[in-house]
Chain A
Amino acid sequence: KAGVTQTPRYLIKTRGQQVTLSCSPISGHRSVSWYQQTPGQGLQFLFEYFSETQRNKGNFPGRFSGRQFSNSRSEMNVSTLELGDSALYLCASSPRTSGRDGETQYFGPGTRLLVL
């Protein structure tokens, strides 16, 4: 079974631009979560999607948004990029809902975003 895939793997943008990142979950997984990883901050939860609906949202500004398609693929968008948005963005999938019934999340390799 193929793992979680994320595209692109690396991205360089300038301040003020917007960016869209893509995540394809493991086949059959319906829950997709997004995290931001920065040095010293660990993994910060952005949001979770399940069956095309955002079920939970972390403490990030509205510039960060996402969506999920009927095939469970998910995209994350960041508008008006700031220097502080430079980070590794990780996507994780699980069969049903992350955090329920002891489920485990499976992570993709991440997209490293550099904002200049």
Chain B
Amino acid sequence: DQQVKQNSPSLSVQEGRISILNCDYTNSMFDYFLWYKKYPAEGPTFLISISSIKDKNEDGRFTVFLNKSAKHLSLHIVPSQPGDSAVYFCAASAISGNQFYFGTGTSLTVIP
């Protein structure tokens, strides 16, 4: 049972525009969320996180929004750059748990 879902397998965006990647979760106990970026032949690298006490966290061009009532989070990248082309995974964990649950990933392509 997939507790974290990324329903868009792929996304294409023009360079300079906004990229919005979405993630939904089903477990209301999740209280910590992360986004990872993965290039081919490399392991995922941590991008940004958000705790459930916040609804927004910003780091440079990357902003994560959390809507707890909808059990939905999104990652905004503004402006998008060709180097952002990668697979993005969202992940969630519960303070009472010992593992992260990952989505299936969204492949972002930023077109120059």
Q: Is A102 an interface residue (CB 8 A)?
A: yes
9-residue interface stretch from B12-20, B41-49, B75-83: B41-49
Q: Is the CB of B46 within 8 A of A100?
A: no
Asked if B42 and A109 make an inter-chain contact with CB atoms under 8 angstroms apart, the answer reads yes
Q: What range describes how many residues of B lie at the interface?
A: 20 to 34
Select which of B36, B41, B98 is within 8 A of A109 by beta carbon: B41
**A106 touching B100, Cβ below 8 Å:** no
Contacts A/B (CB < 8 Å), 10 sampled? A42-B89, A42-B105, A44-B102, A56-B97, A56-B99, A98-B98, A99-B95, A100-B95, A104-B46, A108-B43
Binding site for B on A (CB under 8 A): 4, 33, 35, 40-45, 48, 55-56, 58, 90, 92, 97-102, 104-110
Q: Which residues of B contact A (CB under 8 A)?
A: 2, 6, 32, 34, 36, 41-46, 49, 51, 89, 91, 93-95, 97-105
